[in-house]
Amino acid sequence: MNIKNKSLLKTAVLAGTAAYLHLQNTWIQKTEYTIPVKHLAPENEGLKIVQLSDIHLPKEKINLNKLIDMTKAAEPDFIFLTGDQIQGEALFDPTVAEKLFRKLAAIAPTYAITGNHDRHSPMFHIAVDLYKKNGIRLLDDEAISVVAKGRKPIVIMGLSDKSSAIQKITKDFLKKIRLRKDWQGQTRLLLAHRPEHFLKYHTDPEKSADVTFAGHAHGGQIRIPKVGGLFAPGQGRMPQHTEGVYLLPTDPDKKLVVSRGIGGSSFPFRINNRPEMVVVTLTHDTVPEGEE
């Protein structure tokens, strides 16, 4: 191969790699799960939730208008924002965040929790104000009972993200969350940013959620087929919980949904790990879980 051909081949490889990395970080994937819930009210059959996690404004890289269109097309009953809506050390444009939050809340009732980046952001108070202004309910170690149109009530619990020191000594992560007696029997859904504490979210059987929604792991950042993600914060190398649906070892009726998330963070690239919008449909029938 002559020098000219080698140069053309090198250019083509570099261009192909750049195109691949661009698509891996900007092309949103919709992942759908149908999850059986024990004792789900018949009226809540087919209840649909869109989960958006780890947007990391302003490091989202995706087209936010496309994300809004995809969310609207899914026709959810609820939208869950499971932490790290904003990047910890970066300054985001409040007008961009406001547009996103306003349009999401116009699609369906939207609930948010904090992630570690939210807590550390110098603009966190601005994000909180934008939630309130645009109709998004921030759940800070609290639970509410809500009803979608034509449905029966469900309980949505939101866990605020804790510092690493507190996480190490805390045995019951849901200790501050209060459930009313008249909510007994309602399906319980938990928004909790960190999937690595799945077991600790079920310490108290009275608060144990039927389905927990988490993010934080970024899909393991680099994914290898049949192996999974290579690294995740809070889990380290070869993490266990990076995407998909997991069963609680002590009670398989309890599920954990982990989103790969949407935005970038400290690591600059996603590889074999596209930004993800998760759509969860609840059913009282026993059906296989997984992507369509």
DSSP 222: B
Q: Which residue has the tokens 């982990």?
A: 258
The pLDDT tens digits of the residues spanning 84-115 come to: 999 998 899 999 999 999 999 999 999 999 99
Strand partners for 255:
211, 247
For residue 144, what are the contacts with CB-CB under 8 A and spacing of at least 6?
137, 155, 156
Question: Does residue 24 have a pLDDT over 80?
Answer: no
The pLDDT tens digits of the residues spanning 50-97 come to: 999 999 999 999 999 999 999 999 999 999 999 999 999 889 999 999
Question: Measured between alpha carbons, how far is 216 from 261 in angstroms, rounded to an integer?
Answer: 7
Q: Residue 98 falls within a domain, yes or no? A: yes
Phi, psi of 13, deg, nearest 5: -65, -45
* Residue 136 confidence class, pLDDT cut points 50, 70, 90: very high
| Cβ(55)–Cβ(263) below 8 Å | yes
The pLDDT tens digits of the residues spanning 171-201 come to: 788 999 999 999 999 999 999 999 999 999 9
146 SS3 class: strand
Q: Residue 292 falls within a domain, yes or no? A: no
Q: Residue 14 falls within a domain, yes or no? A: no
Q: Residue 2 falls within a domain, yes or no? A: no
| Cβ(173)–Cβ(103) below 8 Å | no
Q: Residue 288 falls within a domain, yes or no? A: no
Question: Measured between alpha carbons, how far is 56 from 59 in angstroms, rounded to an integer?
Answer: 5
pLDDT confidence of residue 185:
94
pLDDT confidence of residue 291:
42
Question: Measured between alpha carbons, how far is 214 from 243 in angstroms, rounded to an integer?
Answer: 9
Question: Measured between alpha carbons, how far is 155 from 146 in angstroms, rounded to an integer?
Answer: 6
| Cβ(196)–Cβ(234) below 8 Å | yes
pLDDT confidence of residue 288:
46
pLDDT confidence of residue 201:
96
pTM: 0.91
Average pLDDT of 5-21? Answer: 58
Q: Residue 17 falls within a domain, yes or no? A: no
CB atoms within 10 A of CB 105: 18
- Which CATH number does the domain housing residue 63 bear? 3.60.21
Question: Measured between alpha carbons, how far is 230 from 210 in angstroms, rounded to an integer?
Answer: 28
CB atoms within 10 A of CB 157: 24
The pLDDT tens digits of the residues spanning 153-162 come to: 999 999 999 8
Mean residue pLDDT across the chain: 90
Q: Residue 9 falls within a domain, yes or no? A: no
Domain boundaries, position 46 = 28-283
Q: Residue 291 falls within a domain, yes or no? A: no
Quote the number of domains for the chain: 1
